Amino acid sequence: MANQARYGFRVRLVQGEAEHLPFRDASFDVVFHVGGINFFNDKAKAMAEMARVAKPGTKIVVIDETERVAALGEQLPFAQRFFKGRRGSIDAPVDCIPPGMTEVRVTYPAGGRLYCLEFRKPVATPGHGGPR
């Protein structure tokens, strides 16, 4: 919060469920999610919500750990409770991207320990209301 005062940022912290974001449609210029999506009950719904709150033309970025990190987490005593009993292997949830999104790209930074999934909410063309 010190940087908020130093740089004059207005910051409002909001707690909510990823599958039901408490924001209006097309509210954000940037949507950036780091960590945790691998544990969501409904990744597709969460990503649909990210797209819903993004303004047309916004790039949406989702970053989380890969299977490599999860397998290591199962072996570490302090992390076991997070990774034990997980459902299937972990990979970028490309299949959860809402229909109609564009510029889909997956990269694996940090030596493959993370995935970075990017996609863009398309800009609606006049008279068409966007993709169907």
- Domain containing 34 — which CATH number? 3.40.50.150
Domain count, the chain: 1
Record the pTM: 0.80
- Per-residue model confidence as pLDDT tens digits over 88-122: 668 899 999 999 999 999 999 999 899 999 999 99
The residue segments making up the domain with residue 76 are 26-120
Whether residue 65 lies inside any domain: the answer is: yes
Question: Which position has the higher pLDDT, 40 or 45?
Answer: 45
The DSSP string of 63-130 is: EEE-HHHHHHHHHSTTTHHHHTT--S-----GGGSPTT-EEEEEE-HHHHTEEEEEEEPPPPPTTT-S
Whether residue 14 lies inside any domain: the answer is: no
- What pLDDT, on the 0 to 100 scale, is given for residue 132? 43
Residues 104, 102: Cα–Cα separation, whole Å: 6
